[in-house]
Amino acid sequence: MGARRSIRPGTRGFTVLLSAAMAMTALGIDTLLPAFDEIRAEFGLASDATEVARLVTAFIVGFGLGQFPAGLLADRFGRRAVLRGGLALYIVGAAASALAPSLGWMIAARFLWGLGAAGPRVAVTALVRDSYVGAAMAKQMSTIMAIFLIVPMIAPALGEALLAIGPWQFVFWFCVLAALGVMTAATFLVSPPRDASRGAFTRASVWADWKAVLTAPGTVVWVLATCALTSTFMSFIASSENIVDEAFGLKRWFVLIFAGLALSMAMATSLNGRFVERIGLRRALTVAPVSLVVLATATCAVALATDGTPPAAVFFVLAFAVMVNQQLLMVNINSAAMVPLGHVAGSAAALIGATPQVVGALLGSQIDARFDGTVRPLSIAFLATSLVTLVSVRRGLRATRASL
């Protein structure tokens, strides 16, 4: 392969390819949402049937579980192999979903589709860690995440456009074509060679890799902080339509409000790379949790003072600020957690990435269950999780004083 055609770390092509690979997850979820009515009609379901929501759940469960084997495979067989293998499975799952004869078969295919999406997620994080460390990694991941966050803004509109020109299966076939494009581009990716010293793929070797991750300085508290952050973030996403409609009566503005959040997060994440590069990752992690506690306290105070129904503009400004801060913290915490784990970056990317998704989803569902038509439960959860994050990050900084 000629040097001119290769995609190497530090190049624009590297950032674009990895961003596109990460975006496959959002593409597989958000483009599908406008097709729910057509899918209900296809399988003879009522217009308000909730069974189609299992198509999202199955994908997310597959995505979460798939990261664990993907990480182990990435450490033994190389990042590019797992990236392309995951995309191949993604393509099979998407095609099987389009051809499924029943909703049950489609749900199974969606689980397979999610398993495939896990490969690119893990491979991207490991590839960035192979090439960068500390503040440099945070900067690179910020750029990738900024591009990634734009996808949820445009994916529903893209799904609507595809439905305007053809049947609902067009949405699935578009995802197949997108994955094929990324998979083809990945053939030009220069990634570290397989580590021949890794030895046989055994139960003992798997435990050794996971033990290396779990016993590294700060890993447990970094993951605890990310679980806390993810729980309220997922809760807001899951209950956002109810909040906008029932708490504020602004249902017709829901799409714009949601797009505003995604845009705010994308812009802030893009700027985060420059911020961390200027002041350093350690200092950024010292300042951001304090800022989060201040913002969460203000949000909670406003919610309690107004019996859970503050002016919409006030609440959304504060809530957006909280979630933007959360997103920046998650990027920087992940970068800090990966510093001592370059030798097991695949396994680390899996454990550090998947655990908060699983635990965060479970905690977030408990917050959702307490929705009472106001923003009071979510605001209290913002404050509680921000305090957990502050304590966890401070302990993580102490544990990694020598390396960060």
Q: How confident is the model at residue 169 (pLDDT cuts 50, 70, 90)?
A: very high
Q: Which residues have a Cβ under 8 Å from the Cβ of 238 and sit 6 or more positions away?
A: 364, 365, 368
172 and 39 Cβ atoms separated by less than 8 Å: no
Query: Residue 115: its pLDDT value, please?
Result: 95
Q: Does domain 213-399 have CATH number 1.20.1250.20?
A: yes
User: What tokens were used for 99?
Assistant: 């051809």
- Average pLDDT, rounded, for the chain: 87
267 and 146 Cβ atoms separated by less than 8 Å: yes
Average pLDDT over residues 189-214: 72
Kindly tell me if the per-residue pLDDT of 211 is higher than 60. Answer: yes
Query: Residue 113: its pLDDT value, please?
Result: 96
Backbone angles phi, psi at 185, to 5 degrees: -60, -35
Report the Cα–Cα distance between both ends of the chain, in Å, rounded.
Answer: 37
Domain with CATH 1.20.1250.20 in the chain: 3-201, 213-399
Using alpha carbons, select from 273, 188, 146 the residue that is nearest to residue 1: 188
Beta-ladder partners of 7: 189
User: What tokens were used for 114?
Assistant: 């999610």
Average pLDDT over residues 149-178: 87
Backbone angles phi, psi at 7, to 5 degrees: -110, 115
User: What tokens were used for 79?
Assistant: 């990042």
- State how far the Cα of 86 lies from the Cα of 182, in Å rounded to an integer: 11
Kindly tell me if the per-residue pLDDT of 287 is higher than 60. Answer: yes
Q: How confident is the model at residue 198 (pLDDT cuts 50, 70, 90)?
A: low
Query: Residue 278: its pLDDT value, please?
Result: 86
- State how far the Cα of 342 lies from the Cα of 338, in Å rounded to an integer: 7
Identify the residue whose tokens are 């969460």: 296
Q: Which of 13-22, 76-85, 197-206, 293-302 ranks highest by mean pLDDT?
A: 293-302
Kindly tell me if the per-residue pLDDT of 3 is higher than 70. Answer: no
Beta-ladder partners of 209: none
Kindly tell me if the per-residue pLDDT of 68 is higher than 80. Answer: yes
Kindly tell me if the per-residue pLDDT of 95 is higher than 90. Answer: yes
Kindly tell me if the per-residue pLDDT of 2 is higher than 50. Answer: no
The pLDDT tens digits for 230-269 are: 889 878 876 777 788 888 988 788 778 877 887 888 888 8
Identify the residue whose tokens are 């949820």: 152
At the top level of CATH, the class of 3-201 is: mainly alpha
Kindly tell me if the per-residue pLDDT of 49 is higher than 80. Answer: no
The pLDDT tens digits for 371-394 are: 888 999 999 999 999 999 999 999
Backbone angles phi, psi at 238, to 5 degrees: -70, -35
